Amino acid sequence: MKKILIAGAVVIVLVAIVAAFVLFRNKGSEPKYRTDKIAKGDIITTVTATGTVNAVTTVLVGTQVSGTIKQLYVDFNSAVKKGQIIAQIDPALFDEQVAQAKANLLAAKANVEKAEASLVDAKRTRDRNAELFAKNLIARSDLDTADTNYETAKASVSAAKAQVAQTGAALRNAQTNLGYTRIVSPVDGTVVSRNVDVGQTVAASFQTPTLFTIAQDLTKMQIDTSVDEADIGKVKVGQDVEFTVDAYADITFRGKVGQVRIAPITVQNVVTYDVVVTVDNPDFKLKPGMTANVSIIVAEKKDILRIPNAALRFKPAEKTKTKQPQKGAGVWILENGKPKRLPVTVGISDGNFTELVGGELREGQDVIVEEAVAKTKGPASGPRMF
């Protein structure tokens, strides 16, 4: 009998230990939630892109004649004025062409005088033969010959005058080519690049070689950015822009959207659009070719109720979900220790917070942003059985 009582007591103790373990384990595995408060703040929605800083107007200065560079009058970073000579091509060959064209013009004018003298002589001969023919002193054929010689002389004068016009045009062409040996700046600006040296031969046979690149006004710059097709609908002319460059990582520059170009740019099936950002550059910190990390501000609201985006993404574990409709945006709150979903109407977002437009949430109210199961402090396995 005593053994039976001892065995019964042992069984009761074991059952109590197992029940306590199960209760402890279930209590320790209950989900814990981390919450955050609904508060007011600012939200700025941006479209990010990268681009290249360029001068607003860049002029490529070339040459229309071939020859050897005899003199350079400017270098990199030189400030130039419109009409200022910046380089000289050796003009010796072109001087000779001008001299030859002048000589040809003088010869053509002399030929005009010669033709006019022949015309006068032909006219006298024709008139004299006409008088003789009227008196029946010469044959009709002689008069006809005199008439023909007169008309021929008239044509010779016209041809000689045309030759004068032709040689005059050749002279002007030679003089124009001579003028092209003086390379002048077409605009006021700054020399960004120089592509030739003294003694170098440039050939303008098929295409005009670029000798200099001149930026018209470096106090006004532009950034050519590539915006993805998914974001281009948000970008409008006049929107504010913030950007940084690697050269001044601690400075945030500002500009405005100046143009949204409608021409698509497709690279490996990725479609982007060129958005031009205009920037003031009074201190010349921005230089052509710099890479800019651009943020286009497409929406901005201040002192509004906002929800942490983690709360909008949160979904409780399957075992704690309640049968509530989950259409549209919503957040979860704790009600009597249990998660409850509240639908909300949201507005703009900056990636971290989203504007609260409508719903039952109020400022200061806690919303669930994360679920974490507390770790039990007991043993990982059940009690050892005797």
0.85 cut: is pTM over it? no
356, 306 in Cβ contact below 8 A?
yes
Q: Give the integer Cα–Cα distance in Å for 105 and 111.
A: 10
In terms of C-beta density within 10 A (0-12 exposed, 13-18 middle, 19 or more buried), how is residue 109 classed?
middle
**Interior CA angle at 221 toward 183 and 195, to 5°?**
30
What single DSSP character describes residue 268?
T
**pLDDT at res. 30:** 60
For 357-371, b/e burial (b = at least 16 CB within 10 A) is: eebebeeeeebbbeb
Please write the tens of the pLDDT for every residue from 128-165: 999 998 988 889 999 899 999 999 999 999 999 999 99
Q: Which tens digit of pLDDT belongs to each residue from 216-242?
A: 989 999 999 999 999 999 999 999 999
pLDDT for the residue numbered 211: 94
Residues of the chain with pLDDT under 70: 1-11, 13-31, 318-326, 373-386
Q: Which residues contact 112 (CB under 8 A, 6 or more apart)?
A: 157, 160, 161, 163, 164
Residue in the block written with tokens 């052509």: 288
